[in-house]
Structure 1
Amino acid sequence: MFSKAIRYYENGLKLSNEPQYQGLYLSFSANLASSYVKVGKKKEALEILTGVLPIAVQNKFYEKEIQILLALAEVYFLDNFEAAKVYLDSSFNKANRYGDKEAVIRSLKAMSALYKVHAQYKESMAISEKERQMSDSLFNKQKAIEVADLQANHQLQKSKTDINRLELINKTNLTIRYGIILILAVILIFLFIILYFYYRSRKLNKLVNRANNNLQILNEELEEMHVVKDKMFAIIGHDLRSPLASVIGMLDLLKEDALDKTEQLTIIEQLSIHSKGSMEMLTNLLLWGQNQIKGSYLRPQYCSVKDIIAKNILLVKVASTQKSLTIEDLTDASAVVWADPSHIDFVFRNLISNAIKYSRKHGSIIIGAEPQKTPSHISFYIKDTGIGISQERLSSIFKLNGQSTIGTAGEKGTGLGLVMCKDFIEANDGELHVESEENVGSVLKITFRRYPRDY
């Protein structure tokens, strides 16, 4: 019997291993672990339960957390009294905190059984009595609710009877009222005709105004789409075509076999730089174009910014090493935000890459976090000692028609990176602010929410 149940729960676990089925996944995990315990597979049950308990805690599934705690107590039920008691105490406290009386009763029942199995009968009886009292109280409460429902139904039937009696009385008075109503109806018809034509004219005017507004909005959207199209063709025709032409020229040089090994390695390195730059331009271009046409689709969740920053620092290590740059990450491991992780990853990757791009050799880049006035937000900053941005240029860096500045090592860009970063940050209910001084450096501040708006 248990083997059939185990197969059922294992299949359910596979099918529910998706973010939208997390609650179901936790239930299947707890039930599968309980079945494993029944057939003596306590090690497998313990691995499952210790893996899913943090998920239940992090996502505040307190009912699933209690179920998992009870299953963990079941693993240690016969062999380790203290461990089982710890988990039962935890499930009892959790259920008591959330006022879940049924879960409290389940915890007490399991605790009484635990004391009984380990020959502590006095304690078992005391807990069993407490569980019985709570069960009786819950039963009485349910009965009280049923009695209240019966009383409400009685009152409803009585009200219906009174209504029927009043309707009978009203019918006798209708004949008298018909004459008055007929006169009023004639007057109202004339008033209705007048009002009809009045409101009809107003409605037509509103429709005309709405159509004009919609036409204006469509024209603006069309203009924006033309800007997107022109920008994409301009980038494809200039920023992507030039590097590809250089790549073709370098490949022709390599085919001639007239270069020594050092020159060949230099050309290969340049080919790599041009190819990577072109790939980055194309990736940003396609992502930006898709975002402009289809809109940004968010999958917000709690994100560890420290991990995202560390990963992207590792990705740009080669570029920073070539310029002998020092990158210092001062963010705390507890820095967590509520946002789409792919957007956060894109933002920090682009902003760190930009800091490297516009930094001189032997410069430094500092990344950190700072508290905000409201506890619901947290800000991060990326500070460099690079070439900075002039005040004239600063006002247009987030515009689509802005021109990208060449990096200190001749790196080229499309100017889309900052535009996309700003779009993604604002899509996640955040803000991006830039402070810069030419030939001194720049500080980019990014503010995100620490938890959902309705938290």
Structure 2
Amino acid sequence: MFIQYYLSYGSLIVLLAFGITSNSLLAQGIKRDSLLKELHIKRTTANLTSIDTLFINNIIELANEYRHHDLDSLLSLSQESLKLSKKASFINGQIGSYRNIGIFYSDKGNIDQAIYNYKKANNLADNHKSLHLKVETLNDLSTEYNYQGNYALALKGYLDAIEIAEKLDFKSFLSIINENIAQLYLDQKDYKHAMVFFKKVNAINEEIGNPIYMAETMSNMASAYADMNELEYAMFNINSSITIFEKERILEWLAYCYETKGKIYLKMGKNTWALYWYKQSELLHKEIEDDRGKIALLNGMSEAYFNIRKDSVSELYALAAFDLSNKIGLRTGIKNCTYQLFKIYKNRADYKKSLLYHEIFQETSKSLAKSGNEKALNILKTKMEYDQQKKQLIIENEKALAKQKTYIYIFVIILFIFLAIVLIIRRNEQIQKKLNTELLSNKLDLEEKQEYLNELNQTKNKLFSIIGHDLRGPIGAFQGLLRLFKEGEMTKDEFLNFVPKLKIDIDTISFTLNNLLSWGQTQMNGSATTPIATNLYSIVEENIALLSEIAESKSIKLISRIESNCQIWADFNQVDIIIRNLLSNALKFTPNNGQIIIGAIQKLKTCEIYIKDNGMGMSEETMGEIFKIDSNHTTYGTNDEKGTGLGLSLCKEMVEKNKGRIWVHSSLGKGSSFYFTMPRFIKPNKKSA
């Protein structure tokens, strides 16, 4: 049973004119404007350095946004990002810039320059072992080889990319590459093998669960079904993909889908409906730059107008397709439009022009037929070579494995000989061991005591270091203010102006002292963990109230998503310290007008608590250090707030004492999310009388 997608003619025009085109362009324009604003701010900032990779990534992202709207902007921005990436030795930035420049030349029809830039990107990814980028650049390069007509290199590149992607479990590009291989078979009219790959792509897309990937595949399958004259299947697939692209507002794919739907109606003989959908595609092509897609559209419209006996309009579209096909060197486009022009001029009895275009049509058809035969042979040859290489690798691996087994046998024999020698020596050592037991025992005892004393000494040094570094400053400042006030060098009004700052300093000192005391107790084994039924909601609310003044000073929203009945089995005071430290830490690193969310996910036996902010974020290196007890890692907050560096190591100790675990997800410029688990409090079932 097939589901058809119907809309009335009038409602569809309104939807396309206002719901799709304007809203999509508005959404894309807003994104570009946002990126442009951010780039302008960074360019005018005095502190901008040549190694600002976030700035470079923003340029690359903005360039890509211009792909289907302004190719000149795509090129100029890509050249700028490449220059900055080279200056900063930012390899990923160089790869992204070369790929964008390759896109520019590809869309302009300059295939040689596109291949040159894609090769640059691919070599960089290869040299720096960036396997995910290697897969992506191999796909770019292979697609361009396909446009060039070098089908052997195209298929080989796709197969190499698949091999790497399968090892990485890189599902998104496994879907893309398999679909590109399906397209190779479609070009040969080998629908059987094309559908095998499309089914493979569908299975991968189901695993990924991304509706856009599914829609892209369905639209390509719809075009294939139309070429196979399986028009019912074609219509089902294209309607399904249109629904998704209209919802997601992706203009370039919608233009392709509308053109494909027009092609389906054309094959049905419904020329009026074909023209309707072609015109919707034509409307979108005015807002995007996609010459390859536009050629198919122009040829389709020319054929539809010819069928309804509007030869003059058909001629205009066919000539436009001819000019555009010559501009970018698309031979299939030239073949289709010259055949259409041959028919138009024959109808008019303009046999001179008709013969001219028929000769071009025949010449192009022969060239394509020859190329098609070579393509089929190259595909077969490349696949056979690839399979042969894989078999050779398997044989070599088996030989290497056999060699390794030999080494293992030799090692086992040596190990047995060694064990025999050890046993003999061990027997002879028994007498000596008895004599040394007491001495060894005393030595171990002394070493344990020495280690314990060293740990105590390190704790003492850490305490004094923090007291000297983080408490002496605020206390000294407070003493200085009091001395100035006492000696009359500061008026009462001037002193009162410092009171809010003094309160913050005193709150910081109090918070630091609480952390120091708690940490000192845990280090000296003086803090016992006493789990009880603890209401998480009340602890969070108290801490939000406690830290609300700091949040208000930075205009930060503190949002709690803790349910009022959320209960855990943990030490009340230790959970309080953990929550306070994590909230304080989030406030410290969240900029003004930011947002912090605290919530909990109640699972079967545990409760997973999270605190998410949209602040500064952390690098991979920082995330590896923050929970270490011996780490002295301290960072200033967005308003130069200072911390002791104890909070997170203290949280880790207390979480683990309560049989939980703590971790963090973060990336620079995108905020941090701290997670920790605690056992849930499970009420005992009452026994029935």
Give the TM-score normalised by structure 2.
0.35
How far the C-alpha of 1:209 sits from its partner, in A, is 4.4
How far the C-alpha of 1:280 sits from its partner, in A, is 2.0
Q: Counterparts of 2:491 and 2:461 in 1: how far apart (Å)?
A: 43
Deviations 1:373-400 (A, max 9, x none): xx22221100011112232222221233
Matched, 1:394 2:619: no
Q: Which amino acid aligns with 1:241?
A: R
Alignment partner, residue 670 of structure 2: 440
How far the C-alpha of 1:260 sits from its partner, in A, is 6.5
How far the C-alpha of 1:219 sits from its partner, in A, is 2.9
Matched, 1:362 2:593: yes
Within a 5 Å distance, the mapping from 1:38-77 to structure 2 comes to none
Q: Counterparts of 1:273 and 1:371 in 2: how far apart (Å)?
A: 35
SS in 2 for 1:356: helix
Matched, 1:243 2:474: yes
Q: Counterparts of 1:395 and 1:370 in 2: how far apart (Å)?
A: 25
Would you say the 8 A contact 1:433–1:445 is kept in 2?
yes
Q: Which has the higher contact order (CA 8 A, sep 6+)?
A: 1
SS in 2 for 1:411: coil
Matched, 1:430 2:660: yes
SS in 1 for 2:498: helix
How far the C-alpha of 1:360 sits from its partner, in A, is 0.7
Deviations 1:269-325 (A, max 9, x none): 222222221222222212211221133212111111111111111111111111111
Alignment partner, residue 223 of structure 1: 454
How far the C-alpha of 1:216 sits from its partner, in A, is 3.4
With over 3 angstroms needed to count, the CA separation of the structure-2 counterparts of 1:259 and 1:237, relative to structure 1, is closer
With over 3 angstroms needed to count, the CA separation of the structure-2 counterparts of 1:449 and 1:206, relative to structure 1, is farther
Which of 503, 508, 519 pairs up with 1:272? 503
Q: Counterparts of 2:437 and 2:677 in 1: how far apart (Å)?
A: 41
Q: Which amino acid aligns with 2:550?
A: A
Within a 5 Å distance, the mapping from 1:137-176 to structure 2 comes to none
Alignment partner, residue 561 of structure 2: 330
Alignment partner, residue 571 of structure 2: 340
Moved more, 421-430 or 198-207: 198-207
How far the C-alpha of 1:262 sits from its partner, in A, is 6.0
Would you say the 8 A contact 1:358–1:386 is kept in 2?
yes
Alignment partner, residue 416 of structure 1: 646
SS in 2 for 1:404: coil
Moved more, 328-337 or 342-351: 328-337
Would you say the 8 A contact 1:388–1:437 is kept in 2?
yes
With over 3 angstroms needed to count, the CA separation of the structure-2 counterparts of 1:247 and 1:426, relative to structure 1, is same
Would you say the 8 A contact 1:250–1:271 is kept in 2?
no
Q: Counterparts of 1:205 and 1:450 in 2: how far apart (Å)?
A: 51
Alignment partner, residue 464 of structure 2: 233
Alignment partner, residue 164 of structure 2: none
Matched, 1:407 2:637: yes
Which of 530, 541, 546 pairs up with 1:315? 546
Would you say the 8 A contact 1:425–1:432 is kept in 2?
yes
Q: Counterparts of 2:597 and 2:458 in 1: how far apart (Å)?
A: 36
With over 3 angstroms needed to count, the CA separation of the structure-2 counterparts of 1:204 and 1:335, relative to structure 1, is farther
Q: Counterparts of 2:618 and 2:447 in 1: how far apart (Å)?
A: 36
Matched, 1:306 2:537: yes
Q: Counterparts of 1:226 and 1:328 in 2: how far apart (Å)?
A: 42
Q: Which amino acid aligns with 1:390?
A: S
Within a 5 Å distance, the mapping from 1:184-263 to structure 2 comes to 203-255=434-486, 263=494
Moved more, 395-404 or 343-352: 395-404
Alignment partner, residue 449 of structure 1: 679
How far the C-alpha of 1:448 sits from its partner, in A, is 1.0
Would you say the 8 A contact 1:369–1:378 is kept in 2?
yes
Give the TM-score normalised by structure 1.
0.52
Which of 523, 529, 533 pairs up with 1:292? 523
With over 3 angstroms needed to count, the CA separation of the structure-2 counterparts of 1:295 and 1:259, relative to structure 1, is closer
How far the C-alpha of 1:451 sits from its partner, in A, is 4.4
How far the C-alpha of 1:213 sits from its partner, in A, is 3.8
Q: Could you tell me the percent identity over the aligned residues? A: 37
Q: Counterparts of 1:414 and 1:215 in 2: how far apart (Å)?
A: 33
Q: Counterparts of 1:326 and 1:390 in 2: how far apart (Å)?
A: 24
SS in 1 for 2:672: strand
Moved more, 308-317 or 409-418: 409-418
Q: Which amino acid aligns with 2:623?
A: L
Moved more, 216-225 or 232-241: 216-225
SS in 2 for 1:434: strand
Alignment partner, residue 173 of structure 2: none
SS in 2 for 1:354: helix
Runs of 5+ unmatched residues, structure 2: 1-428
Alignment partner, residue 77 of structure 1: none
Q: Counterparts of 1:206 and 1:451 in 2: how far apart (Å)?
A: 49
Would you say the 8 A contact 1:378–1:450 is kept in 2?
yes
Q: Which amino acid aligns with 2:668?
A: E
Q: Counterparts of 2:540 and 2:665 in 1: how far apart (Å)?
A: 21
Instruction: Choose between structure 1 and 2: higher helix proportion.
Output: 2
Alignment partner, residue 514 of structure 2: 283
Aligned-CA RMSD value: 2.7
Q: Which amino acid aligns with 2:545?
A: L
How far the C-alpha of 1:353 sits from its partner, in A, is 1.2
Q: Counterparts of 2:490 and 2:519 in 1: how far apart (Å)?
A: 40
Alignment partner, residue 381 of structure 1: 610
